Structure 1
Amino acid sequence: MGKPWYQMGVWLGLLALVLGGCGPRRPAQNETSAPVAEAAATRSVKVRVIEAQNGTLTTTRTTGATLTPARESQVGATASGKVLEVRVTEGSGVAQGQVVLRLDPVNAQTALRNAELALEQARVNLERAQRSTSGSLAPLQASLESALANLQVAERRYREGKQLFAAGAISQVELTGLEAAYNQAKAAADNARENLARAQRASSEDLALLRLQVQQAQNQLAQARRAVADTEVRAPFAGVVAEIFVNPGEFVSAGQRAFRLADTSQLEATFRLPPEEAAVLPLGSRVDLIYGGQTYPATLTKSSKIPGTDRLVELTARPQGALPPGASAQLRYTLTLAQGRLLPAGALRTEGRSTFVFVVQEGKAVRTPVRVLGDTGTRVAVEGLGNQPVVFPVPSSLSDGDAVEVVQ
């Protein structure tokens, strides 16, 4: 006898459940979206950013400097002779005009006495000539005055004779005689005048020559006095006798160097820089001298502008403060390299000849080309950059277009 129908239905239902559990299962919606979201999160790069600022890029550097006197002179002998005495030693301070060494003055003093005698003789000759001229001109002056008086009398008689002749009081012979006497007196006056003038010219020329001789003798005397003074070689300015080139007993010639004098009241710091650095360090720039652990301000005063044999440009600065001459010091200076957008040097990336930075724009890293205007090694000034934040530091795996997440 068969099973009841309701038992057959139960077995069929169980079979359906078993078969359903063994078939394929449809995944849930949240189970499929989780891996996609996880992959998207993996492609986002976490970065830090900085803001580029407009400004001037400067750098401070140091170099060696030598301190030397601002004024130095090789003082030479102004006369020839044997050195009698050297009154100072090397390193001694001297005042302006102080005698440093003496030469033998005997020859110069002899020349001085001869010049004094020559001047005295010239003056005596001039005075004698003046007295002689005065004595020789007096008779000629008297003769001229007498001749002029005679001429005046003869002229008056001649005029009166012409009047008398017109009135018939005298004859023609008498009038002719009066005329002859007038002409003779006139000739005598002319002769006396010429004699006096000739004597005066001769005396004037002689006196002029003698006066020139007196002036020449005065010049020779002044020269002789200078020669005596030149036997003492003096310091032209206050300073320190850095070096002496002669010794007592030696013979020196005029112009031969005797000692070296240095004005240590004001020193100069001499240093050398590459031409490109010297070109951007203008005169008047402030620099610092570092000596003995202290810093002394200094001002740039000179620049050669032309590189030397070592291809460096020599510059000079004037320091403030008491420093020892000849010492070596460190000189610190600041160079203005460029003006532009300032960034850390590590923000730059290069590829071939291209230089660029990464900026963050709309959640992505955007490669932006820039041109470097100046570089200190740690900071750079660039152009071509806008106001977008710049990625720094730059992850090594960052590429153009990558999604980024800015973190603090």
Structure 2
Amino acid sequence: MRFLRQSLTGLFLLAVTAGLLLYAGNLVRGAVQDRLARDNSGPPARERVFSVNVVEAVSGVESPELVAFGEVQSRRSLEVRASAAGSIVRLSENFEEGARVVAREVLVEVDPSKVRFALERLASDLLDAEAEDRDAVRTLKLAQDELAAAEAQLALRQKAFDRQVDLQARGVGTAAAVETAELSLSSARQAVLSNRRAVAQGEARIDQAETRLQRARISLAEAERDLDDTIIRADFAGTLSEVNAVEGGLVSMNERLATLIDPAALEVAFRVSTPQYVRLLDDDDQLHEAEVKVSLDVMGADVQATGIITRDAAAVGEGQTGRVLYARLDSARGLKPGDFVTVRVREPELEQVVRLPATALDAAGTVLVVGEGDRLDTLDVRLVRRQSDEVLVRGRGLDGQRVVTRRTPLLGEGIKVKPIAPTGEAPAAPAMVALSDEERQRFVTAIEASQRLPSDVKKRMLNALSQPEVPARMVERLRERMGG
């Protein structure tokens, strides 16, 4: 019995000891969990706010710019060709590559000997033709005088015949006398006809002489022009290019000697797409005389000129697309034919459009605007033009909105943001606020009890809380961290 009693007592003490150990372990575990929970407890989760750059959408009238590339050309370009064959006897001192010449300046002179000899022969032929014309006039004058005498003789013969007939009727004259008078009258008539023929021949001879004289004059004029063609002059002031003639060299008819270019009459030819070309047409389907700006980048220094569109190409080239336009340049200082330039065309004005950065528009044609509570909203817009790194858009309700200038994957509809004006300053907000004593003490207790804040930060925050007014941003952060 004694052994049983001692055994039960030992089991009882063992059970009590185990129970006390479990209770003590539970107390330790609870204390450790409370400690860990108290040390790791952080501020309540708060919503993340993104800072975004915004710009106010203001609709108005904009003049888009069309950018293209073109080549400078000369509106006045003339090939200097030889009008006569022969050897070159004289060249102008300015007849060289790149030289400037004035209007009517003698450039080239071809040997005029053969042409001068031909001119002298034709001058002699002209003298012969003039002499022949004078002789024909004199001959016609004589024929006309002979005709007048023959007609007078015919009138006398007619009177004599009439008298003999009258005498025969009265029985005084004879038949033989009448026949003799009639024969004389017939001979006079024949003489008149012969003289008329001579007058006609004289008139024909005069016509032939005048025709020959006119031909001689034409031939002489051609010879004089051929003589003038041996001297080649500049039709206008310009610059010589592609010069290939030397003094003493032989040239053939119509051989090209140089090219004369007017550097003051320049234009630019550039190609645009068909939609761009359609935008430059007016209501009457006529090409709008839009202003253009031409620039040539030369080692970082831009050579610029202005002009106006004058015409477009009549047809699209084979294998080409778009349209070729031509713009006359007003002042093209520093530009030369053949320069490859950038052309900026001012299109007709567009009304009720908003200019925004290109990064504000996404591929779906929407922009983000800052709505109520500084939360983002999505707004559909229609793209009108792209202008370098900017876009021109239209949209219902867009005017006056604050538009986010740069889209990022983190931004979307409903996200709270802090808009920043284009000047880089945040929207106006109260800088300092006054706190009640209870709230101030609560903030001080929380800062002193926090073990996550560095000592210098605690000191700076406690110093700020000791002032009559506390920065509003710090108060807002403390309230968010403390859940109220």
Whether these two folds match at TM > 0.5 is: yes
Overall identity of the aligned pairs, in %: 21
Per-residue CA deviation, residues 27-55 of structure 1 (Å, 9 max, x unaligned), is xxxxxxxxxxx88x849999886553333
TM-score, scaled relative to structure 2: 0.61
Instruction: Tell me what 2:248 maps to.
Output: 249
Does the Cα contact within 8 Å between 2:116 and 2:227 map onto a contact in 1?
yes
Measure the CA separation in 1 of the matches of 2:47 and 2:325: 60
Alignment of 1:114-125 (within 5 A): 114-125=121-132
**Matched residue, 1:153:** 160
Aligned-pair Cα RMSD in Å: 3.9
Task: Note closer, same or farther for the CA distance 1:209–1:320 as it changes in structure 2 (3 Å cut).
Answer: same
For residue 251 of structure 1, report the CA deviation from its aligned partner. 2.0
Q: CA deviation at 1:307?
A: 6.4
CA pair 389-72 structure 1, distance change in 2 beyond 3 A: closer
| Cα distance, 1:381–1:271 mapped onto 2, change above 3 Å | closer
Larger strand fraction of residues: 1
2:306 maps to what in 1? 297
Match of residue 91 from structure 2: 86
Q: Which residue of 1 aligns with 2:366?
A: 356
Q: Which runs of 5+ in 2 are unaligned?
A: 1-43, 281-286, 420-426, 428-484
Residues 295 and 341 in structure 2, CA contact (< 8 A), matched pair in contact too: yes
What residue is the counterpart of 1:104 in the other structure?
111
Q: What SS does structure 1 have at the residue aligned with 2:264?
A: strand
Q: Secondary structure at the match of 1:248?
A: coil
The normalised TM-score by structure 1 is 0.71
User: For the structure 1 residues 85 and 141, does the alpha-carbon distance in structure 2 shift closer, same or farther, using more than 3 Å as the test?
Assistant: same
* 1:311–1:207 CA distance, 2 compared to 1 (3 A): same
Matched positions, count: 358
Which residue in the other structure is 2:202 paired with? 203
Q: Tell me the CA shift for residue 115 of structure 1.
A: 0.5
2:408 and 2:267 map into 1 onto residues whose CA distance is 51
Task: Verify the 8 A CA contact 1:60 1:332 in the aligned structure 2.
Answer: no
Taking structure 1 as reference, are residues 181 and 257 closer, same or farther at Cα in structure 2, changes over 3 Å only? same
For the 8 Å contact 1:374–1:380, the answer to whether it is kept is yes
User: Which whole-Å CA distance do the structure 1 matches of 2:333 and 2:399 have between them?
Assistant: 52
Match runs of 1:133-144 below 5 Å: 133-135=140-142, 138-139=145-146, 141-144=148-151
Cα displacement (A) at 1:73: 0.6
Q: What SS does the corresponding residue of 2:391 show, helix, strand or coil? A: strand
How far residue 71 of structure 1 moved from its aligned partner, in angstroms, is 1.3
The residue identity in structure 2 corresponding to 1:242 is: S
Equivalent residue for 1:286? 291
Q: Residue 303 of structure 2 contacts residue 334 of structure 2 at CA under 8 Å; is this kept in 1?
A: no
**Distance in 2 between residues matched to 1:125 and 1:381, nearest whole Å:** 87
Cα deviation per residue 1:346-383 (whole Å; 9 max; x = unaligned)?
A: 43344xxx432345666675544333222235433334
Distance, in Å, in 2 between the alignment partners of 1:388 and 1:259 is 62
Task: Kindly state the Cα deviation for residue 229 of structure 1 after the two structures are TM-superposed.
Answer: 1.4
1:74 and 2:79 matched = yes
d(CA) in 1 for partners of 2:77, 2:47? 76
Distance 1:273 1:396 in 2: 36
Q: Is the 8 A contact 2:290 2:346 kept in 1?
A: no
Q: Which has the higher contact order (CA 8 A, sep 6+)?
A: 1
Q: Which deviates more from structure 2 when the two are superposed, residues 138-147 or residues 362-371?
A: 362-371
Structure 1 residues without counterparts, runs of 5 or longer: 1-37
Relative distance call for 1:108 and 1:176 in structure 2 (3 A) is same
Q: What is the rounded CA distance, in whole Å, between the counterparts of 1:397 and 1:100 in structure 2? A: 75
**Structure 1 residues 122-271: aligned runs within 5 Å:** 122-135=129-142, 138-139=145-146, 141-159=148-166, 162=169, 165=170, 170=171, 174=173, 180=179, 183-271=182-270
